[in-house]
């Protein structure tokens, strides 16, 4: 079974049924504002109503979320229109398997989909390479996101057209100490 992490899921989580292979999907949003906590509760109630007997969405806002994941356990990390953060940092990198894929989709105007903003450090970026040919199930999901996934500005007041798919493959493990040291230095 594949394991997928959707980072910054907001109010638009993904479910295992969205994928063409059997998988476990984790939806995580690091924002812990009162509004997001309430939205998460409402989403949980909604998910329970539409997917009896088991919840369809696995969703977390927890600050210690990454510490609950087994290192090198993820096959795919998805970032739909990331904004204001680097999708690949020491936490996400620790959880992604060697050979795992990062799928980033967004609008060309979003500077956070560019490589220089997708990675929190050069040490991390050096362990990944762009790839045009991920496994078919990942490519299918990327196309599904472009065609059917509504992306919004963070205030949800208007749609943002998704038009770009970017894939990175993790080639080797990061030396945790080097990554942590570089992240301490900052950009």
The pTM of this model reads 0.80
Is cis: bond before 53, omega within 30 of 0?
Answer: yes
Structure confidence by residue, pLDDT tens digits, 28-67: 887 654 455 555 555 544 444 444 334 456 767 666 888 8
Structure confidence by residue, pLDDT tens digits, 111-132: 888 889 999 988 899 999 999 8
C-alpha neighbours within 13 Å on the C-beta side of residue 84 = 7
* Helix spans in 132-175 (H): 136-148
């Amino acid at each position: 079974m594949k394991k997928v992490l959707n980072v910054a899921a907001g109010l638009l989580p993904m479910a295992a049924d969205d994928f063409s292979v059997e998988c476990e999907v984790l939806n995580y949003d690091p924002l812990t504002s009162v509004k997001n906590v309430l939205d998460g509760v409402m989403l949980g109630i909604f998910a329970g109503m539409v997917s009896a007997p088991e919840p369809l969405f696995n969703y977390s806002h927890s600050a210690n979320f990454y510490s609950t994941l087994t290192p090198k356990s993820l096959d795919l990390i998805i970032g739909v229109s990331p904004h204001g953060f680097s999708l690949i940092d020491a936490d996400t990198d620790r959880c992604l398997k060697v050979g795992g894929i990062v799928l980033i989709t967004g609008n060309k105007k979003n500077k956070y989909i560019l490589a220089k903003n997708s990675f929190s450090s050069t040490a991390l970026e050096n362990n990944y390479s762009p790839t045009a040919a991920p496994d078919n199930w990942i490519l299918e999901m990327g196309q599904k996101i472009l065609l059917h996934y509504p992306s919004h500005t963070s205030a949800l007041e208007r749609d943002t057209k998704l038009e770009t798919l970017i894939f990175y493959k993790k080639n080797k493990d990061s030396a945790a100490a080097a990554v942590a040291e570089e992240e301490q230095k900052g950009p």
